Amino acid sequence: MNIKKLLSLGLISVLSVGILAGCSSKDAGKEAPKTTETKKIVVGATPVPHAEFLNGFAKAKLKEKGIDLEVKEFTDYVIPNKAVAEKQLDANYFQHIPYLDDYNKENKTTLVPIGKIHAEPLAAYSNKIKNISELKSGAIIAIPNDNSNGTRALKLLQKQGLIELKDANAAIQTEKDIVKNPKNIKVKTVEAAQLPRVLGDVDVAIINGNYALESKLDTKSTLFAEDVSAIEKNVNVVVSREDNKDNPALKELVNVLKSEDAKKWLKEKYGSAVIPAN
């Protein structure tokens, strides 16, 4: 190869480097095109009202904020927590804190509540009367037969002035603790899930919100119901892992579920069977 060819190749190389450098210099001043990334969260929930609330209300609201919500339904109370612990779900929504505490203790997990959303209060239903003032002497009122819900039912009756309990602050109450009963009400204990089925056989039944919804009772026409302050510890929560509790998308989910629009949606959909948390 002669000297002229070498010089020519050298000149071409210099020009090529200069051109590329010039292009790089021009491109350096330009911003990379912005892309909108959709964040996805997967939340486990039981069908009513949790999954209905997530799918019917929260999903569209989160989509507006660039968050894709996928809801996986469960009818089991163990698998949703296991799935969160094993990172198969980002969060779940079906339980109250006492249940969560028991689960963590029994399974040595560290799941945490990240938002109080709603309560499913006990409420009084009747096929025979429209107002509690119509209740006759000797009426039969059915209540749940388990200690926890039975106590709540008796305290609810006391709040309505129908009975008086020996110790209103006792953790466990039964019909034997009734010390005043001006209408001579007969209290009948029934397994909680069966209460909607005995409604036609009694004057009033005190029924859990989830069982009322599953039985398609008219939850907007109850005689009376618990308020959230009476069952604060039983408020249903969104739950995640300790290492995921600060996930921005989950925080946005909680904000959406606690919004004023959400509270209005719950009231219109479920009446007194589901009460928004404070």
Average pLDDT over residues 189-213: 94
Query: What domains can be seen in the chain, in order of their start residue?
Result: 39-121+232-276 (3.40.190.10), 123-226 (3.40.190.10)
Query: pLDDT tens digits for 11-23?
Result: 344 334 444 344 4
Average pLDDT over residues 206-218: 91
d(CA 226, CA 108): 33
Average pLDDT over residues 22-42: 57
Residue 205: its pLDDT value, please? 98
Dihedral sign of CA atoms 137, 140, 142, 143 in order? positive
Q: Residue 37's pLDDT band (boundaries 50, 70, 90)? A: low
Query: pLDDT tens digits for 50-91?
Result: 999 999 999 999 999 999 999 999 988 889 999 999 999 999
pTM score, whole prediction = 0.70
Query: pLDDT tens digits for 100-135?
Result: 998 999 999 999 999 999 999 999 999 999 999 999
Residues of the chain with pLDDT > 90: what percent? 70
